[in-house]
Amino acid sequence: MSNKNAIDFAVIGGTGLTEIDGLEVIQREVVHTPFGEPSGQFTHGLIGDKRIVFLARHGYTHTIPPHKVNYRANIWALHHLGVRNVLAVAAVGGITAGMKPQTLVIPDQIIDYTHDRPHTFFEEGLNVVTHIDFSRPYSASMREMVIRAATQAGLSLVENATYAATQGPRLETAAEILRLERDGAHIVGMTGMPETALARELGLDYACCAVVSNWAAGKNSHVITMDTIRSNLAVGLANVRTLLKSLSC
Split at pLDDT 50, 70, 90, the class of 96 is very high
Dump pLDDT digits (tens) for 18-36: 567 677 888 999 999 999 9
Q: What are phi and psi of 190, to 5 degrees?
A: -120, 0
Dump pLDDT digits (tens) for 61-74: 889 999 999 999 99
Cis, peptide link before residue 101, omega less than 30° from 0: no
Write down the pLDDT at residue 46: 87
Asked if 192 contacts 67 with a C-beta cutoff of 8 angstroms, the reply is no
For residues 208 and 11, what is the distance between their CA atoms, to the nearest angstrom?
A: 10
Residue 3 lies in a domain: no
Dump pLDDT digits (tens) for 101-130: 999 999 999 999 999 999 999 887 778 888
CATH number for the domain including 150?
3.40.50.1580
Residue 4 lies in a domain: no
Q: Which residues of 160-190 are buried (b: 16+ CB within 10 A; e: fewer)?
A: ebbbbbbbbeebbeeebbbebbeeebbbbbb
Write down the pLDDT at residue 17: 67
Dump pLDDT digits (tens) for 189-236: 999 999 999 999 999 999 999 999 999 999 987 888 888 888 888 888
For residues 129 and 120, what is the distance between their CA atoms, to the nearest angstrom?
A: 12
Domain that holds residue 172: 9-247
Residue 2 lies in a domain: no
> Which residues pair with residue 112 across a beta bridge?
165
Mean model confidence pLDDT for the chain: 91
Number of domains in the chain: 1
Residue 183 lies in a domain: yes
For residues 132 and 9, what is the distance between their CA atoms, to the nearest angstrom?
A: 23
Residue 1 lies in a domain: no
Residue 223 lies in a domain: yes
Write down the pLDDT at residue 2: 39
Give the Å distances, CA to CA, from 152 to 155, 156, 237. Answer: 8, 10, 17
Residue 222 lies in a domain: yes
Residue 105 lies in a domain: yes
